Structure 1
Amino acid sequence: MSVITRERAEQILAELVAIPSVNPMDRPYTGTVPVERAVIEYLEALLTPYGVAMTRQAVSATHENLLVTLPGEASGPATLFEAHIDTVPAEDWPDRAFTPRVEGDRLYGRGACDDKASLTAMLLAVIDLLESGSRPPQPVLLLAAGDEEHGQSGIACFREAGIDIARGIFGEPTNLAPIVQHKGVLRWDITVHGKSAHSSRPELGLNAIDGAVAVIGALRAHQEALQRDYTSPLLTGPTLTVTMIHGGRIRNAVPDECTLSVDFRVPPGMALEAAHAAVVDQVSRLGWQVTHHPPQAAAPALNTPPDHPFAQQVLAICQRHAGSGIRLEGAPYGTDAAWIADRAPALVLGPGSIATAHAVDEHVDLNEVVTCARIYREILLANPLP
């Protein structure tokens, strides 16, 4: 009897949601073990009875991965299935974020959609193979990755191990549509420098907030120009978003500094370094003294050709299970998939909607988790195409 059932999906996902694995997101971390440790211990307990090989990968003092290996009929490059086990914080709904609840077909809780639903579907697919005795044509690697939500250091650690990969599926909430393209991201701070003065005599100073307003205008104009130049049938154009701003020291002084945090989403075809340099050039033309701080995050775009045999194979499998309306799509966000795509074809695919990810009352449809597990199982057993 198959383990891919709604009841089993609800059980595993609820147990995972009840285990907080919050990424500190560059804030001070006071824990004595990595953020992901409790989830990893749960996974080890769940899979130990099946005798599979499991290895903890130490990423940093704050983060770690778990790599699970299943042998295949043949040796050689592996099929990689990856889901991340860290979540964003839940400070805006701490009373219920880690108390999973089910209403109808929906399971609510932090990580229910992003990304423990994908992990649950992958676990169901793998356990079903193990219990049925079905052996995949290639070795299978299930990577429960840490630190996707902030630094993507978990997938970077896996990449550094140099393991040979033939193809990769990365679980994220895509409503069961395979994602072949997504944007890269670059985040950094820009500090505008002015001159302080008493606020009763502003003419004696130089208001850094005024300079920041000018920088915001320049970023907006540059974004509009980029969106005219970079178009794609699967993606919106580049975006430059100011996500945080801090200026001034006291209420009655002209601010001598103002710092903007910039989130730059870059589509395939734009080189990150060149794109960053172009922004620096545009800001420099304003005449203000500014400092561009080192990037806090820099991740490439995903650009798997839609006509790649693996993309077409996965699309056909998704359509069989989820309906003929499923299409290959692009996404504006970034994922760990981009760090593998230069070595093997990579797709992003999972249950749930990005619209509820990171939100209060994050949730996922349990029936979609079950359907996704069946899709994953078929992909695992599919023979690689040339």
Structure 2
Amino acid sequence: MTDLMKSIEAHRDDYVEHLVKLVQCDTHDIDHGIGGGLEKNGQEYLRTVFEELGASRIKEDPLTEAVITACREKYHEGNPGHDYKDRYNLYASFPGTGEKSILFDGHVDSMPAGNHDNWLHDPYGGVIEAGKLYGVGACDMKAGLMASIMAVKALQDAGIELPGTVKIASVCDEEGGGNGSLVAAMHGEKADAVVVCEPTDYELIAAHMGWVFFKVETEGIAVHSGLKLKGVNAIDKIIKIIHALEEMEHRWLLTYKHPLLPPPSGNVGVITGGDAGSTVPDYCSIQLCVHYQPGMTYDQVVREFTDAVMLCADGDAWLREHRPKVSVYQTGNPFEMDLAHPFVKVFRDSFREAIGREVPIVGSPAGCDSRTWRNIALCPTLQYGPGRLAQCHAVNEYVEIQQYIDAIKIYASLILNWCK
């Protein structure tokens, strides 16, 4: 293992250069994937890397609306209505001497750069300064994706034969809700263990929250504000509903506990209603996200949320006759990995061997593709990758070079320990 770590340090400039080239590929999603995405730029580059490393299988897997529809019907997962032109996942396999396998999942898409003038450097320049590599997607999550590929190269560079099959899934449309990994799982991609390479800042994520995005709409009667008593204010009715949902959230706070995750919660992020201060509004809506824990289900959350809204309506003379409208427009299930599973111990041992300390095991309030590989592909799954959450979706996004190199060491150690 010592010789492997020395070899990785000796080749670090080469490994960093591969990441720089991927960051220089503009792969951003357009309107969270609804308007399409430019992932092909990155996938074409990754194909050349896979070919150079001698992958036995390289496969393009186009994203389609039919698969997303089927996934929504079966698993309450998937985000419909996206433009999939020239958007495809790219899979590579590197066979080894043994039968065990491990898959590394990473999304090649990024958020848009926004106003380039706000950046210290060209957001697609791949500039390195003071030990940090700057660029859109450098942290979220091209560093993790490339680190998994470079782990294979690191073993080759050290003259170490793979003890099992290593698979790489470079997926699209994660920033649009995770459609790429959903397509991969629906099409049967899997392995004996999966690592989702999202940034975790030297922590190992073994659970994350699920989420449901709701929209609630109320109607009223519009009149001049001077005749307020003859109208019905739809905003006032929404405020009543918001208070009812706060009571539901408080009840959940007292009911649900998890060793790695916060309690379930709801956040009202958008409120729309009214035309002028002089008019009683006849329409109002809120859009909100409810985060919920493993052990709770999508059906349960939707039922309890809807019941809270309708119970509030039952207590209001107007809403009793003019029922609020509740709809769901995006979902993602929670994720949890059994900490007693052998894969967890192997990861902890590999981390210790690679960088000489213990890895903290934590949960994440934000969801990611881990849920897909655990819940749909039914693979033992953990989330670990280089970078800090604070850098995700940020102006002047960067990843620390040392975190990236350390991830290569950890992944390479994990491949050896898990597959043998």
Query: Within 5 A, what are the aligned runs for 1:34-49?
Result: 34-49=37-52
The alpha-carbon distance between structure 1 residues 255 and 94, as it changes in their structure 2 partners (threshold 3 A), is farther
Name 1:137's counterpart in structure 2.
163
Deviation for aligned residue 1:320? 2.9
Name 1:22's counterpart in structure 2.
28
Name 2:91's counterpart in structure 1.
67
Count of matched residue pairs:
380
Instruction: Quote the Cα distance in structure 2 between the aligned partners of 1:37 and 1:377.
Output: 27
Which letter does structure 2 place at the counterpart of 1:300?
Answer: N
Q: Which of residues 145, 170, 176 in structure 2 aligns to 1:150?
A: 176
Output the aligned Cα RMSD: 2.2
Instruction: Quote the Cα distance in structure 2 between the aligned partners of 1:94 and 1:83.
Output: 29
Deviation for aligned residue 1:282? 0.6
Deviations 1:186-238 (A, max 9, x none): 11222222222223322222222222222222222221221221112211111
Which letter does structure 2 place at the counterpart of 1:312?
Answer: K
Would you say the 8 A contact 1:137–1:381 is kept in 2? yes
Would you say the 8 A contact 2:27–2:42 is kept in 1? yes
Alignment partner of 2:212: what SS? strand
Would you say the 8 A contact 2:104–2:195 is kept in 1? yes
Alignment partner of 1:180: what SS? strand
Unaligned runs of 5+ in 1: none
Which letter does structure 1 place at the counterpart of 2:98?
Answer: A
Name 1:362's counterpart in structure 2.
397
Which letter does structure 1 place at the counterpart of 2:383?
Answer: V
Deviation for aligned residue 1:370? 0.1
Would you say the 8 A contact 1:136–1:381 is kept in 2? yes
Deviation for aligned residue 1:151? 2.5
Name 1:10's counterpart in structure 2.
16
Alignment partner of 2:147: what SS? helix
Alignment partner of 2:42: what SS? helix
Query: Within 5 A, what are the aligned runs for 1:1-386?
Result: 2=7, 5-26=11-32, 29=35, 34-52=37-55, 53-60=57-64, 61-62=84-85, 63-75=87-99, 78-91=101-114, 96=119, 97-250=123-276, 252-287=278-313, 288=319, 289-293=323-327, 295-342=328-375, 343-384=378-419
Deviation for aligned residue 1:93? 5.0
Which letter does structure 1 place at the counterpart of 2:146?
Answer: T
Deviation for aligned residue 1:74? 3.1
Instruction: Quote the Cα distance in structure 1 between the aligned partners of 2:190 and 2:28.
Output: 30
The alpha-carbon distance between structure 1 residues 298 and 229, as it changes in their structure 2 partners (threshold 3 A), is same
Would you say the 8 A contact 2:165–2:419 is kept in 1? no
Instruction: Quote the Cα distance in structure 2 between the aligned partners of 1:118 and 1:67.
Output: 16
Aligned-pair identity (%) = 27
Would you say the 8 A contact 1:112–1:364 is kept in 2? yes
Would you say the 8 A contact 1:301–1:338 is kept in 2? yes
Deviations 1:335-381 (A, max 9, x none): 11111214121000001111221122222111010000110111112
Would you say the 8 A contact 1:192–1:258 is kept in 2? yes
The alpha-carbon distance between structure 1 residues 329 and 159, as it changes in their structure 2 partners (threshold 3 A), is same
Would you say the 8 A contact 2:260–2:362 is kept in 1? yes
Which letter does structure 2 place at the counterpart of 1:245?
Answer: I
Deviations 1:69-93 (A, max 9, x none): 1112134x63110011112233255
Deviation for aligned residue 1:125? 0.7
Instruction: Quote the Cα distance in structure 2 between the aligned partners of 1:16 and 1:54.
Output: 18
Which letter does structure 1 place at the counterpart of 2:18?
Answer: I
Instruction: Quote the Cα distance in structure 2 between the aligned partners of 1:189 and 1:283.
Output: 11
**Once structures 1 and 2 are overlaid, which stretch shifts more, 145-154 or 344-353?**
145-154
Which letter does structure 2 place at the counterpart of 1:54?
Answer: I
Which letter does structure 1 place at the counterpart of 2:335?
Answer: L
Alignment partner of 1:89: what SS? coil
**Once structures 1 and 2 are overlaid, which stretch shifts more, 360-369 or 248-257?**
248-257
Instruction: Quote the Cα distance in structure 2 between the aligned partners of 1:92 and 1:247.
Output: 30
Would you say the 8 A contact 1:9–1:366 is kept in 2? no
Instruction: Quote the Cα distance in structure 2 between the aligned partners of 1:311 and 1:195.
Output: 58
Instruction: Quote the Cα distance in structure 1 between the aligned partners of 2:355 and 2:203.
Output: 9
TM-score by length of structure 1 reads 0.91
The alpha-carbon distance between structure 1 residues 254 and 152, as it changes in their structure 2 partners (threshold 3 A), is same
Alignment partner of 1:128: what SS? helix
Instruction: Quote the Cα distance in structure 2 between the aligned partners of 1:56 and 1:179.
Output: 29
Which letter does structure 2 place at the counterpart of 1:313?
Answer: V
Instruction: Quote the Cα distance in structure 2 between the aligned partners of 1:104 and 1:377.
Output: 26
Instruction: Quote the Cα distance in structure 2 between the aligned partners of 1:240 and 1:282.
Output: 13
The alpha-carbon distance between structure 1 residues 202 and 323, as it changes in their structure 2 partners (threshold 3 A), is farther
Deviations 1:96-128 (A, max 9, x none): 333333221112222111111101211211222
**Once structures 1 and 2 are overlaid, which stretch shifts more, 364-373 or 54-63?**
54-63
Which letter does structure 2 place at the counterpart of 1:382?
Answer: N
TM-score by length of structure 2 reads 0.84
Which letter does structure 2 place at the counterpart of 1:204?
Answer: K
Deviation for aligned residue 1:152? 1.2
Would you say the 8 A contact 1:71–1:135 is kept in 2? no
Alignment partner of 1:382: what SS? helix
Deviation for aligned residue 1:131? 4.1
Alignment partner of 1:174: what SS? coil
Deviation for aligned residue 1:7? 2.3
Q: Specify which structure has the higher proportion of helix.
A: 2
Alignment partner of 2:232: what SS? coil
Instruction: Quote the Cα distance in structure 1 between the aligned partners of 2:167 and 2:34.
Output: 32
Alignment partner of 1:262: what SS? strand
Deviation for aligned residue 1:94? 5.9
The alpha-carbon distance between structure 1 residues 256 and 120, as it changes in their structure 2 partners (threshold 3 A), is same
Would you say the 8 A contact 1:208–1:256 is kept in 2? yes
Deviations 1:261-318 (A, max 9, x none): 111111111111101210111111222331112x332222111111211011101211
Instruction: Quote the Cα distance in structure 2 between the aligned partners of 1:109 and 1:218.
Output: 43
